[in-house]
Amino acid sequence: MNTNKNNAINNKLKSYAGVLTGDITDSQSYTDEDFRDILTALKQHLSNYAKQYDGHFDIYRGDAFQLAVNQPQYSMHIALGLRLALKARMPSVDVRISVAVGEAHFRPKEVKTGTGEAFVLSGRGLDSIKPNYLAFSSSNTELENKTQLLTRFADTHASGLTQTQSETLLTYLEASDKSHDNIAALLNKNRSNVSRILNASNYKLVAEYLEYMKHAITGALNDS
């Protein structure tokens, strides 16, 4: 996914970042053992995304986290991926994530002390996110206006996915070979069953939404 073209975009937008601020919902309802397992899974996925998209993260207050990436065009891919990854667990858990794209400055391993509009907007977005689970904001009014409604639809759709649907959809989105045969092999499931689950998950629409967001963010930041 990280092509030379995308790297060129990243180099041009050195002062811009995608900031994801989130927290684990109903964190007090889990046993200590389950919550430790949830935190371990969250750290692993945050670490993977930070490595893949040139970023850094912090986990603080026990159930809150913040991830900043220097490839902001993939911010919604990361946010949805985190939600699906945790919803795919047993016990299934959801997270609220506020995504913001804009100017940002942060030091490695000190993300929670970052400054700039992306950090401000992301933090404010999380403060006002309820009852939703996913939000997107930007200081670019045009970008925000044309993506808000789509993101609310994507949020509602993701909230209704089952554990199995979340696991299968995430595997599809993250796979380089997206054939149903390959997804079935990765999950050790029957191909027809995987196709049925993906169709029920509206996987094509989810993929199209993420592609739309990637291009919308890239275009907006290139015009800044």
Give residue 47's pLDDT band: very low, low, confident or very high (50, 70, 90). Answer: very high
| Pick from 23-32, 117-126, 154-163: least confident | 23-32
Using alpha carbons, list the distances in angstroms from residue 173 to 97, 110, 115. 19, 29, 31
pLDDT at position 15, please? 81
- Mean pLDDT, residues 115-130 taken together: 93
Helix axes 203-222, 75-87, angle to 10 degrees: 150
Phi-psi region of 54 (alpha: psi -120 to 50; beta: other; left: phi over 0): left
4 — phi, psi (to 5°)? -60, -35
Asked if 111 and 190 touch (Cβ cutoff 8 Å), the reply is: no
Spans of all domains in the chain: 4-161+201-222
What top-level class would CATH report for the domain 4-161+201-222?
alpha beta
What is the spatial distance between Cα 224 and Cα 215, in angstroms, rounded to a whole number? 14
**pLDDT score for 181:** 96
pLDDT tens for each residue of 74-111: 999 999 999 999 999 988 999 999 999 999 888 777 78
| Among 26, 27, 21, residue whose Cα is nearest residue 46 | 21
User: pLDDT band at 56, cuts 50/70/90?
Assistant: very high
pLDDT (tens digit per residue) in 156-183: 999 999 999 999 999 999 999 999 999 9
Q: What is the pTM of this model?
A: 0.89
